[in-house]
Amino acid sequence: MNQIEIISENSNCTAINVGSMDKWNEYSIIFPISRREVKGKIFLKDATQATGTEISLNSLPPKAELPDFHFHKKNEETYIILRGSGLFLVDDDSFPIEEGSVIRVAPEGKRCITNTSDSEMLFICIQSKAGSLEEYTIDDGEQVSIKGVES
Amino acid sequence: MNQIEIISENSNCTAINVGSMDKWNEYSIIFPISRREVKGKIFLKDATQATGTEISLNSLPPKAELPDFHFHKKNEETYIILRGSGLFLVDDDSFPIEEGSVIRVAPEGKRCITNTSDSEMLFICIQSKAGSLEEYTIDDGEQVSIKGVES
């Protein structure tokens, strides 16, 4: 499967399925200006109708790197490495990354990822507007009793 | 390893490592009011110094469910299922989820997850302020030439 399936959609929720992690490399996007195809990348915002994040699921082949360093105008990014290992570069800094690494980059940081290993690297990248979060952890949440069962 | 290691920290980036996905279940948090311990949960905002998201990494044991339905005051949530399968509940809706399912829930949606399988469920939950994202996909990014290499 390399297309997004809608599981459920209602007034408070949109749920999709993109397929197993082994299939993320079958997706690709076309960059709008350069018309260059980037394989192994799935953007989720339109599919999930998200309003606070743009999330991408990414597969980087062995020994490959993101095509360019880039920075952002307004958005902070958080990268979560799920599989594989490599090198993360920010400005003049570089450091090894692997499964379980989480990297938060401010908009102005010039960043790139290289997969230095012989196996696929999988990672999630989350864009959100820098400084936008007001409440967090569990403070923004409220438990509810529902269907007559008290929590 | 069940404590967060700092990989790198500089003016534009904080990078941490939480360990392999098999180790997420070794973490726990204490809920501040009830003092109840919730196992298999890692909040990332403080560790990464994020300003636009609160991200949690979660391990749900076989046949377990989140302790309560909850909704949010300001934050949208996106759940990304990485391992295992189960049932997602929002308001009066419920649907099966598995590896590759992505669920966006509006703040007011009353939500819960159940792991109906015989194996661990791993998922990432991303909180961001609903309606906060202004630019997205690659429109917020700018490629740069760096170290003398034109992109």
pLDDT single digits (tens) A43-92:
999 999 999 999 999 999 999 988 789 999 999 999 999 999 999 999 99
Residues 12-51 of A with CB under 8 A from B: 12-21, 23, 31-32, 43-45, 47-51
Find, in chain B, the residue whose alpha carbon is nearest to that of A14. B104
In a domain, A54, yes or no: yes
Name the token pair of A106. Answer: 């401010």
Taking contacts as CB-CB distances below 8 angstroms, the residues of chain A near B110 are: 144, 146
Residue A104 near residue B50 (C-beta atoms within 8 A): yes
What is the ipTM metric for this complex?
A: 0.93
- What is the domain range of residue A22? 13-129
Sign, CA dihedral B50-B53-B59-B65, equals positive
pTM: 0.93
Tally of domains within chain A = 1
Are A65 and A113 in contact by the 8 Å Cβ rule? The answer is yes
A85-128 pLDDT, tens digit each = 999 999 999 999 999 999 999 999 999 999 999 999 999 999 99
Give a yes or no: residue A44 inside a domain. Answer: yes
Instruction: Give me the CATH number covering residue B97.
Output: 2.60.120.10
CB B48 within 8 A of CB B10: no
B26 CB-near residues (< 8 Å, 6+ apart): B1, B2, B19
